[in-house]
Amino acid sequence: MWPLPTRSLNSLIVVMDSAVIFLAYVMSAVIQRQRDMGGGGPESDRFHLLFTALPVWVAFFFVFRLYRSRRLQSVFADCFSLLAGFLFGAVLLVGIFPSLLGQHLSFFATFTLLSWVTLTMLRIQMRFFLRWLRRRGINQKRLLIVGSGSITRELADRIQHNSFFGYTVEMITEPRSAIDPTATNGLLWQEVSRELEGRPPDEVIITSEPGNEVLAQRLLAACESRAIPVRIAFKTGHREPRSGRLQNLDGILISNPWTYPSDRLGYLLGKRTLDLLLGALLLVVLSPVMLLIALAVKLSSTGPVLFRQQRLGLNGRRFWMYKFRTMTCQPEALGDLLWTTPQDPRVTRLGRFLRRNNLDELPQLFNVLQGDMSLVGPRPERPYFARIFQQQIPGYMARHYLKGGITGWAQVNGWRGDTSIPKRLEFDLYYLRNWRLTLDFKILWLTLFRGFGRNAY
């Protein structure tokens, strides 16, 4: 089996969409020139439209979830979303450039129609191609189905029969008559715990039938505490959830029970836009400082300038986080298992200065531009310590429903370094439940005056 990371695939799709919109602009300009026969206005009058339309349309594609997994949906599922994205984007562009309804109407209509038709055809072909790959074991995801009754087997059979969905299905089930939904030490719970704690699945579907509501809620809590994406499957005709997005798979309804900040319009557009614009600006402004620090690190001690370490990001996925090296060189595994303490002998003299002033964190701006981190969010933790905190502190993994940040609500309030983890979690969860762009700006403003925290060493 050859896995194709979802994030990498979606990044390629964003590039493809942008390239198609650019080529549609070029073709529209050629068509318009032939129409004008030299009598139209110069192309420069319309050129600014491209640099506005491209980010606007791609942003609306994010809004309509065109860069989210659609494995269980039809290959034509993108068509309506693309149409909606182009229409909403066109309305916004007309508001920005009223002349598009006047002298540039013909060009704008051609540009929009050509972009939509081309992207729609490519998306359909791409979905067919992905299904072809998944039938051959490429771009697979590991799916765990948990529940009781006939619906569990029926759902597993349908997904396994349709190999183009790209799921490797594992199933945990017991007859309804054998389940005590209040028990926490039954065979089903033991098996679920082994699966979730050993090699966590990419997704979990919990099947629900009348009378099993308590079981479903307990399983939902178990998945949420580990930041594993989870959905609930219902039979049509049974009581359906009042909220959440519903999807019909041949008579079985699949619901996303919760909406987290990462599913909201503000998070998808506002936060990522802020990260890209401000992150790029900070990288440019601070590049001379970073070059001086890199030179100082190289001259002051032997070893690489940058230090990288695995951390847990959105949905508990691992990524490499970058810092300026502040310690003497030592085995990578050792650094992953040890907590930094005051007067730590491993820290160099320059490293102590960099840590005290939070300058060692600056390379994480590259993590922000790559999309692994945000400027603001819970601090990403090392996998070793995250496993310990997960076992000791209920709800710890819920903090991974947001991207980790360079600074955060806990950090500007002093909860950093060797401080109370439950207290830090309390601030992280407050940020999770109350996220908004104005709170991000407040945290960035406080960071200027307080730094990333008062316990940096």
Q: What phi and psi, each to the nearest 5 degrees, are found at residue 322?
A: -105, 145
pLDDT of residue 243: 46
Give the sheet arrangement for strand 167-174, strand by strand.
167-174, 141-148, 203-207, 230-235, 252-256, 245-249
Kindly tell me if the per-residue pLDDT of 118 is higher than 90.
Answer: yes
pLDDT of residue 97: 83
**Whether the predicted model's global pTM rises above the 0.85 cut:** no
Q: What is the dihedral of CA 436, 441, 445, 446, to 10 degrees?
A: 10
Contact 255, 234 (CB under 8 A): yes
Contact 321, 308 (CB under 8 A): yes
Separation CA 76–CA 79 (nearest Å):
6
pLDDT of residue 314: 83
Average pLDDT score, the chain: 78
Stronger pLDDT, 323 or 334, i.e. the higher one: 323
* pLDDT tens profile 62-101: 777 787 767 777 777 788 888 888 988 888 888 888 877 7
Q: Which residues, other chains included, contact 423 with Cβ-Cβ below 8 Å and sequence gap of 6+? A: 410, 415
pLDDT of residue 33: 79
Amino acid in position 82: L
* pLDDT tens profile 392-412: 887 788 788 888 999 999 888
Q: What phi and psi, each to the nearest 5 degrees, are found at residue 229?
A: -55, 130
Which pair of tokens denotes residue 227? 């930041």
pLDDT of residue 3: 47
131-158 mean pLDDT: 79
Q: What phi and psi, each to the nearest 5 degrees, are found at residue 407?
A: -130, 165
Residue whose pair of structure tokens reads 């590049």 in the numeric block: 287
pLDDT of residue 452: 54
341-359 mean pLDDT: 80
129-156 mean pLDDT: 79
Amino acid in position 437: L
